[in-house]
Amino acid sequence: MSKEFLLGNEAIARGLLESGVDVATGYPGTPSSEILAALTPVAAERGFHIEWSVNEKVAMEVAIGASWAGARSVVTMKHVGLNVAADPFMTLSHTGVVGGMIVLVADDPFCHSSQNEQDSRMYAKFAKIPCLDPCSPREAKDMIAYAYELSEKYQTPVMFRPTTRVSHGKSDVTVGELPEGKRPVKFTKDVERFVVLPKHTRALLKKLNAKQEAISKELLSSPWNRLDLKPGAKLGVIASGVSSKYVEEALTAIDVPVSSLKIGAYPVDPLLITRLAESVDRVLVIEELMPLVEEQVRMYVDDVAGKMTGEVPHEGEFDTLLVSNIIRKLLKLPAIEVRAPPAGIELPMRPPAMCPGCPHRATFYALKSVFKEDAIFASDIGCYTLGTQMGAVDTCICMGASITVASGLSFAGVPNKVACTIGDSTFLHTGIPGLMNAVYNKADITVVILDNRTTAMTGHQQHPALGETITGEPTTEVSLEQMVKACGVEHMQVVNPFDLETTKAAFKSAYEAEGVKVIIARQPCIITAKRIGIKRKQYEVIPDLCEGCRRCVKFGCPAMEFKDGKAVTNDQCAGCGICADLCQFGAIKIRSR
């Protein structure tokens, strides 16, 4: 036993190792991505299977198959990934599992890196499976072992739901021993269970409903739901997941006794709620995202403060200050004020931006210079969603929706040209059916596959078109060109976006043609390029030649600044050379020293 300083996701990975995970699958998505990344280095040595799956539905089904053979499996994803995997997920609760199976779904209150806020606890309730909601990296590690035991005892998948502040929180974590030996696997045929014909499912649903009460009672005695009654307390605070940590800290600065109920496992047994409610005058429920616990508490308690009475925000992420002030207000204590910097200084925003030397910037530039402002640019999920800053992204709703939304615009009959952008990993994830559909139903669109040879946004994960697995082992490389052709596309061209003229010519030919045109803009992500040792020389602006026209500055590269009427490059230049192509005065050249 020793202590290590671990990221929440690393602590979860450690818990999985200590529980002897046999099959680990997932699709990258912030804040879940580091779990598989942390398992990868030891996969070969520990002898378990690990994979980046093509998408979350695929990942979920692979984990189901493994579990049905008796293996312990885990599937990891972000909250919106569960929408993609919802089909197998909703029926899995009926068939149940054999080997323990954890459905790990990381939620992102405040949408730090997501397209929506979504409460996966609702999905667990929807599917009638237990959900564990850790409050800290430390608790997350310990909860994993419990999750597998619970899963095997009740033959149910268990949802494990960290939020961003757990997944990307850090703490000292006590690491334990790793198990010896390999778990035997065997698939025992059972058609009435593993084939969900209507007749079978009707019986399975009865079994699923019948075990709900037993699961609820089991969780009553778990260490994750903890009632702390204080003598003389008039207020009782119920808080779930990370919010319980904020309550704990807030109460250290309040002298009045306050009782609390920490929730870390669902379904919550009503006994805990009524015990708290009977000992106090008023109950406050603090939980991020949806009022899941609050709705349940309202079934048993009359005077409840929470989201539904306006005391607790419906949106965003909480913190200790926010929670303190909610509790203080109910106790009629003065609010804690924070000293703000003096007004009068306007701070320029610093939104995330595409990197200096990012090939997407070059592709977007070429695309816009051919298609112009009037075209409609549908897009997708990835670093390139930041193309909004160049006016080259007009729509983005979910993974794979660029080609399909573009098709819909085309079928609606908009007079504008319609072009869309989708990354290589996203294209493989859910883009292919959309492309097939566009060709089949005769859309008139230009599809640009931004092939930067990685899943960049989430931390550079492998995918099937790279010829390399999660562990770096060589494998069959799926060809994007052949995939595009197999979908029936005839007009296809592969370009290097750093070759601006050829790229523009390809877009021009697509602009003029009818039907579904695909341009694959291929150039490795600048971050991976640096890592694999591609060296490019930096560029500089020759001040005497610069006319100060700002053409290069408007390109929006963070490496290009403007001082005293002249453009000037800074040390972030990655050497893509597009600014030199843009300069009409020949003022931008490779740095001489």
Min dist CB 99 to another protein, Å, is 31
Bridge partners, 395 (sequence order): 378
Q: Which of 349, 412, 482, 535 binds another protein (CB under 8 A)?
A: 349
Q: Where are the beta strands (DSSP E) in 241-362?
A: 258-263, 265-266, 282-286, 304-305
Total residues in contact with another protein, by rule CB under 8 A: 61
Q: Tell me whether residue 153 or residue 226 sits nearer to another protein (CB atom).
A: 226
Q: Where are the beta strands (DSSP E) in 545-587?
A: 560-563, 566-569
| Distance in angstroms (rounded) separating the CA atoms of residues 411 and 141 | 50
Contacts of 406 (CB under 8 A, 6+ apart): 376, 378, 418, 419, 420, 438, 443, 445, 447
Contact status: 79 vs another protein (CB under 8 A): no
Contact status: 533 vs another protein (CB under 8 A): no
Task: Rounding to the nearest 10 degrees, give the CA dihedral for residues 25, 29, 35, 36.
Answer: 40
Q: Which of 149, 218, 228, 248 binds another protein (CB under 8 A)?
A: 248
- Residue 371 corresponds to which amino acid? F
Question: 96: phi > 0 → left, psi -120 to 50 → alpha, else beta; which?
Answer: left
Contact status: 170 vs another protein (CB under 8 A): yes
Residue bearing tokens 């925003």: 349
| Distance in angstroms (rounded) separating the CA atoms of residues 241 and 411 | 46
Contact status: 180 vs another protein (CB under 8 A): no
Residue bearing tokens 């002898």: 47
Span of 182-190, 270-278, 490-498, 559-567 interacting with another protein by CB under 8 A? 559-567
Min dist CB 443 to another protein, Å, is 30
Q: Which of 65, 270, 515, 556 binds another protein (CB under 8 A)?
A: 556
Contact status: 333 vs another protein (CB under 8 A): no
In terms of DSSP bridges, do strands 445-451 and 418-423 run parallel, antiparallel, or are they unpaired?
Answer: parallel
| Distance in angstroms (rounded) separating the CA atoms of residues 574 and 540 | 11
Contact status: 547 vs another protein (CB under 8 A): no
Q: Tell me whether residue 65 or residue 558 sits nearer to another protein (CB atom).
A: 558
Bridge partners, 522 (sequence order): 451
Q: Tell me whether residue 324 or residue 461 sits nearer to another protein (CB atom).
A: 324
The CA-atom distances, in angstroms, between 113 and each of 104, 109, 161, 463 are 18, 10, 17, 20
Residue bearing tokens 């998505």: 29
Contact status: 319 vs another protein (CB under 8 A): yes
Q: Which of 24, 103, 233, 355 binds another protein (CB under 8 A)?
A: 355
Encoding tokens for residue 436?
A: 């097939």
Min dist CB 510 to another protein, Å, is 28
Contact status: 345 vs another protein (CB under 8 A): yes
Phi first, then psi: what are they for 4, rounded to 5°?
-130, 155
Is residue 529 within 8 Å of 544, Cβ to Cβ? no
Q: Which of 212, 562, 581, 585 binds another protein (CB under 8 A)?
A: 562
Span of 163-171, 308-316, 393-401, 476-484 interacting with another protein by CB under 8 A? 163-171
Contact status: 320 vs another protein (CB under 8 A): yes
Q: Tell me whether residue 370 or residue 457 sits nearer to another protein (CB atom).
A: 457
Contact status: 31 vs another protein (CB under 8 A): yes
Contact status: 335 vs another protein (CB under 8 A): no
Min dist CB 362 to another protein, Å, is 16
Question: 248: phi > 0 → left, psi -120 to 50 → alpha, else beta; which?
Answer: alpha
Q: Which of 459, 467, 488, 565 binds another protein (CB under 8 A)?
A: 459
Q: Tell me whether residue 42 or residue 321 sits nearer to another protein (CB atom).
A: 321
Min dist CB 253 to another protein, Å, is 10
Is residue 495 within 8 Å of 506, Cβ to Cβ? yes
Which residues in the 110-149 window bind another protein by CB under 8 A? 112-113, 135-137
| Distance in angstroms (rounded) separating the CA atoms of residues 488 and 481 | 11
Chain positions contacting another protein, by CB under 8 A? 3-5, 7, 30-31, 33-34, 112-113, 135-137, 165-166, 168-172, 242, 245-246, 248-249, 319-321, 324, 336, 338-342, 345-355, 383, 386, 389, 457-459, 553-554, 556-558, 560-562, 571
